[in-house]
Amino acid sequence: MMTLREELKSCQRLVIKVGSNVVIKPDGRCDTRSLRILVEDIITLQESGIEVILVSSGSVSLGKTYLKEHTPRNGRVDLQQSASSIGQPILINIYSRLFEENQGICSQILLTHDDFRNRKRFLHVKQTIDVLLKNNIVPILNENDSIAYSKNTVGDNDHLAAQTAQMVNADALLVITSARGLYDKDPSEPDAKFMKQVPFGYDLEGIDTSKKTSFGRGGMGSKIHAINKVTPLGIKAILSSKDEERFVLNPLTKDIGTFFSPKNHYDPELKKAWLLSTKKPNCIVEVDEGAFFALKKGKSLFAKGILSVSGSFYKGDSVDICHDGEIFASGICEYDSKEIKKIKRHHSDDIEDILGFRTSPEVILTNNLVINEDIKDESIS
């Protein structure tokens, strides 16, 4: 009988994310051996009463090997889309066969950022996954790269896994990558130290996470950013290596990988938890002191109080809000980044003259805003 490690004793619902380097061999072919281990481990988890949702990369890398002529250069959207449209059916067919060999069933769900930022679509996807899990079927999720573009992309599957973990009220997120876990610096450096556990709120700013693998879009920085989305919601996370013999079961049952402790006492059912987990990466609105104190008191954000905008985002996206370089809140924007740059520091009455329209007098409405609890609890001087 499988026994979970002490930190995961109460885990009943788990999201597993595997990167392209787990799914694809260096020659671009599917690593069926790794996938067989993955599926067998998932079946073992199911037999122990744990519900599993799998977020799997690999379709784009797999599809690229079939594009012999007229291949778009790397980085182009049409390469991403065409390769994904080839790789997705091949990959899900392999998964389906492996699950059937182990008397299991899987399903496929392809998502874009719109499925998370639109509350109705978000709830429909959540309901679908709940039905599948109740029927002992493993949902396999991936970003729908064949139609995704800059406006509706989630970013990468690390962030898709984080958003999925919140959506399904998961107890834990397991991210499988090429690294043993998290180090305090580039692991290739001789004095790099392995971090077995990261307490909630630990400052990771000084750690170099820029290194990427040869496959996929995300690197260690993307994984840490994604994990930092779920731990404030009370979800535990583990970062572990694909080189473990049982690379799913081992980090769940043994003291290996890096364990990220979550914040306690957070209700994941709240709309604001959904808002937090769907933030667009590296998108920030900087506000002045007046707006900072107004937002802490529960007011909406107006253009007049905005100093600057970083990153590219669209109306309906959730972004970070900061003051003096410190992120203190998140919220859903009524305007896109280009529009906010034009109307910042202006009165709401001037928005229509500047843009030619006015969606709302507020840039972020108070009911679409969540303040960091530690900031909120501080006394206002």
Condensed to tens digits (0 to 9), the pLDDT of residues 321-353 reads 999 999 999 998 989 999 999 999 999 999 999
| 133 plus 15 within the same structural domain | yes
Examine the fold and report which residue of 220, 240, 272 is the final residue of a domain before the chain moves on.
272
Distances (CA, A) of 220 to 25, 212, 216, 273, 293: 20, 7, 12, 24, 34
Q: How confident is the model at residue 154 (pLDDT cuts 50, 70, 90)?
A: very low
50 DSSP assignment: -
Tokens of 309: 């905008």
| 225 plus 332 within the same structural domain | no
> According to the model, what pLDDT value does residue 209 have?
58
| 163 plus 14 within the same structural domain | yes
Tracing tokens 């072919």 back to the chain, one arrives at: 29
Residue 3 lies in a domain: no
Domain that holds residue 334: 279-377
Tokens of 362: 């507020």
Rounded to an integer, the average pLDDT of 289-297 is: 95
**Distance between CA atoms of residues 374 and 371, nearest Å:** 8
Tracing tokens 């599809």 back to the chain, one arrives at: 63
Tracing tokens 């009220």 back to the chain, one arrives at: 169
Proportion of the chain in helix, strand, coil states, percent, rounded to 5: 40, 20, 40
Which CATH number characterizes residue 198's domain?
A: 3.40.1160.10
> According to the model, what pLDDT value does residue 293 have?
95
> According to the model, what pLDDT value does residue 287 have?
97
| 283 plus 211 within the same structural domain | no
* Distance, C-alpha 85 to centroid of its chain: 22
Out of 68-72, 218-222, 282-286, the most confident range is 282-286
| 227 plus 335 within the same structural domain | no
Examine the fold and report which residue of 254, 272, 290 is the final residue of a domain before the chain moves on.
272
| 250 plus 295 within the same structural domain | no
Rounded to an integer, the average pLDDT of 9-28 is: 92
Q: Is the pLDDT of residue 1 over 70?
A: no
| 138 plus 218 within the same structural domain | yes
Neighbours of 362 (CB within 10 A): 19
Q: How confident is the model at residue 272 (pLDDT cuts 50, 70, 90)?
A: low
Q: What are phi and psi for residue 302, nearest 5 degrees?
A: -110, 155
* 8 Å CB contact between 183 and 193: yes
Residue 2 lies in a domain: no
Closest residue by Cα to residue 229 from 187, 282, 289:
282
Tens digits of residue pLDDT in 27-58: 888 999 999 999 999 999 999 999 999 999 88
> According to the model, what pLDDT value does residue 95 have?
97
Number of domains in the chain: 2
Q: Which residue has the higher pLDDT, 1 or 177?
A: 177
Tens digits of residue pLDDT in 122-131: 888 999 999 9
Tens digits of residue pLDDT in 84-94: 889 899 999 99
Helix H or strand E segment including 15:
strand 13-18
Share of the chain above pLDDT 90, in %: 51
Residue 1 lies in a domain: no
Tens digits of residue pLDDT in 355-366: 998 888 999 988
Which CATH number characterizes residue 319's domain?
A: 2.30.130.10
Examine the fold and report which residue of 252, 272, 292 is the final residue of a domain before the chain moves on.
272
Residue 304 lies in a domain: yes
> According to the model, what pLDDT value does residue 208 have?
60
Beta bridge partners, 194, equal 183
| 254 plus 320 within the same structural domain | no
Residue 284 lies in a domain: yes
Tracing tokens 């990468």 back to the chain, one arrives at: 156
Query: Residues near 351 by Cβ (< 8 Å), separated by ≥ 6?
Result: 303, 343, 358, 361
**Distance between CA atoms of residues 380 and 75, nearest Å:** 47
Closest residue by Cα to residue 331 from 152, 352, 340:
340
* 8 Å CB contact between 142 and 176: no
Q: Is the pLDDT of residue 303 over 90?
A: yes
Closest residue by Cα to residue 328 from 285, 364, 357:
285
Out of 66-75, 103-112, 203-212, the most confident range is 103-112
Residue 332 lies in a domain: yes
Q: Is the pLDDT of residue 372 over 50?
A: yes
**Distance between CA atoms of residues 85 and 107, nearest Å:** 17
Q: How confident is the model at residue 145 (pLDDT cuts 50, 70, 90)?
A: low
Q: For the chain, what is the radius of gyration of the CA atoms?
A: 21
Residues comprising the chain, all counted: 381
| 114 plus 178 within the same structural domain | yes
* 8 Å CB contact between 156 and 220: no
10 Å CB burial of residue 181 (0-12, 13-18, 19+) is buried
> According to the model, what pLDDT value does residue 214 have?
42
**Distance between CA atoms of residues 167 and 327, nearest Å:** 23
| 61 plus 150 within the same structural domain | yes
> According to the model, what pLDDT value does residue 264 have?
78
**Distance between CA atoms of residues 32 and 25, nearest Å:** 9
Largest CA distance in the chain: 68
Tens digits of residue pLDDT in 222-267: 888 889 888 988 899 999 999 999 999 999 999 999 999 998 765 5
> According to the model, what pLDDT value does residue 252 have?
97
Tokens of 165: 């973990």
**Distance between CA atoms of residues 132 and 178, nearest Å:** 30
